[in-house]
Structure 1
């Protein structure tokens, strides 16, 4: 497959914006790693009009795909964890071109998993966990048990990913295989949810109790990144939080996360008078005394 794709990636490699090229061949035991294609050509560029650009090719009975990603989109997907295959591709794909050792350094970053990167990924997964838990609990209390079940499954996935991140690894495609080794207690909860003979209502009730305990026990680590970021200035509007380059990774979960941390005492809401004196803007700041006692910051 390499010789077939060589003219394509060599043309891209000659362009000054191209940072690296990786070739991923289909594995018989994991065809979905390549989205069922026989080969994936991943090209990372510094900048482009489209952050993601794809082309499909065929050669005889073989089918191939080329993905061109900007560095910004690549790093966003790595931080958010929204494309599990990407980590597998970077780790196990064959490097065909590497400008200034960009891909070599990226692999090293992923293997070493810097502490700062771990805090950001922890915060993102924790914020997603909060949303799933709150929405699922509301559905459960309103009697929508099947919809609540979906949220509980998703919340356990986020808990599993948090345990993997906490161990210094990256969540891969086979998340539960990793969780079973790293955090057997969370794996056991997952088994109980899907295999227990108890009624669905009883299973959900027990899982929400367990989730609440696990969420509370992880607040310290889950909130650290956003709190350290917010200490960078005295107060924030919600738009300023959304616009921050790192906090933007939290996306739609940011506002729910902020409200949760207000409820837990980590963040203070400060009313600021608006043009209409009966309406106030909501500004946000870190409760420094509380955070100092928690983190020693």
Structure 2
């Protein structure tokens, strides 16, 4: 005799409740384009992080997405993936051992000053990187590649705006940006839907993004400048790129360094290289 869906779900949850490796279970009540029930399962082991399974339990279709406690804790420091953050925000907590999930959700929703600086620096570095790529493609006459890079640059700009306003970027990012900064929303609209030729649409973006990159630089690179202050003397490029705080935050160092040199935030100096007689360009923070 087949069990009713609610009975099957209860049995499934009871099994998860007994598992020592499971810390919490959440359910997405209206996950789009999926049959059955979608569960987010918070595990204690980091190695299971990101695992997605579709299972059939007592004739009921179930989708499982596993997240580790380590990933969530990391998200409170460096920010969480936007799609996952959106899912967690609307998911219903069904199992919550030691009240962990309720507390971690509150921490994930907060943007501390230190986290805000880090996230702003990350998105700004992506904006600079994609804008540089877009201009390179334009110079080579590769309009479609330039268009793709400009779209990525605008998305980085949109996320940057959200973080500047103390908000996490939402899944419906451009609805959010329309509310926060309608001028940037209009740029995205012009690029996507204007009746002009693609070349003309791209031309409209160059000056606007160039101005954004220039005017936002001082505040946007504050995180990196404060990191450079922790060391007396020059930094090697690879040393900055390999710094754990930079890698964890996904900050694109080479694109930032060039801009910071141009604006005299940092200065190029010559350091001894790893080989005898070799010299290397290093960077020192200017007061």
Question: What is the TM-score with the length of structure 1 in the denominator?
Answer: 0.83
User: Do residues 173 (structure 1) and 171 (structure 2) align?
Assistant: yes
Is 173-182 or 193-202 further displaced after alignment? 193-202
Give the number of equivalent residue pairs. Answer: 281
Tell me, in whole angstroms, the C-alpha distance in 2 between the residues paired with 1:119 and 1:94. Answer: 30
Q: Which runs of 5 or more structure 1 residues have no equivalent in the other structure?
A: 290-297
What's the offset of the Cα at 1:92? Answer: 1.2
Q: Structure 1 residues 12 and 248, CA, compared in 2 at 3 Å: closer, same or farther?
A: farther
Give the equivalent residue in structure 1 for 2:148: 150
Quote the RMSD (CA, aligned, Å). 2.7
What's the offset of the Cα at 1:80? Answer: 5.7
Q: Structure 1 residues 158 and 55, CA, compared in 2 at 3 Å: closer, same or farther?
A: same
Aligned 8 A contact 2:79 2:115 in 1: no
Tell me, in whole angstroms, the C-alpha distance in 2 between the residues paired with 1:8 and 1:226. Answer: 47
Cα shift readout 1:49-92 (whole Å, capped 9, x = no counterpart): 343222211358863221222233345567466x4321122111
User: Do residues 160 (structure 1) and 158 (structure 2) align?
Assistant: yes
- Other structure's SS at 1:43 match: strand
Q: Report which of the two structures shows the higher radius of gyration computed on alpha carbons.
A: 2
Q: Structure 1 residues 123 and 17, CA, compared in 2 at 3 Å: closer, same or farther?
A: farther
Give the equivalent residue in structure 2 for 1:104: 102
What's the offset of the Cα at 1:17? Answer: 5.0
Tell me, in whole angstroms, the C-alpha distance in 1 between the residues paired with 2:7 and 2:262. Answer: 59
Q: Structure 1 residues 74 and 110, CA, compared in 2 at 3 Å: closer, same or farther?
A: closer
Cα shift readout 1:256-285 (whole Å, capped 9, x = no counterpart): 223332333223333221253442234333
Cα shift readout 1:184-217 (whole Å, capped 9, x = no counterpart): 0001111111222322212211201111001112
Cα shift readout 1:115-153 (whole Å, capped 9, x = no counterpart): 221111111111111110000011012111111011111
Tell me, in whole angstroms, the C-alpha distance in 2 between the residues paired with 1:221 and 1:109. Answer: 24
Give the equivalent residue in structure 1 for 2:54: 56
- Other structure's SS at 1:52 match: coil
User: Do residues 4 (structure 1) and 3 (structure 2) align?
Assistant: no
Tell me, in whole angstroms, the C-alpha distance in 2 between the residues paired with 1:201 and 1:246. Answer: 39
User: Do residues 197 (structure 1) and 195 (structure 2) align?
Assistant: yes
Give the equivalent residue in structure 2 for 1:214: 212
User: Do residues 267 (structure 1) and 271 (structure 2) align?
Assistant: no
Q: Structure 1 residues 48 and 197, CA, compared in 2 at 3 Å: closer, same or farther?
A: closer
- Other structure's SS at 1:143 match: coil
Q: Which runs of 5 or more structure 2 residues have no equivalent in the other structure?
A: none
Aligned 8 A contact 1:80 1:121 in 2: yes
Tell me, in whole angstroms, the C-alpha distance in 2 between the residues paired with 1:286 and 1:14. Answer: 54
Aligned 8 A contact 1:48 1:70 in 2: yes
Aligned 8 A contact 2:24 2:97 in 1: yes
User: Do residues 24 (structure 1) and 28 (structure 2) align?
Assistant: yes
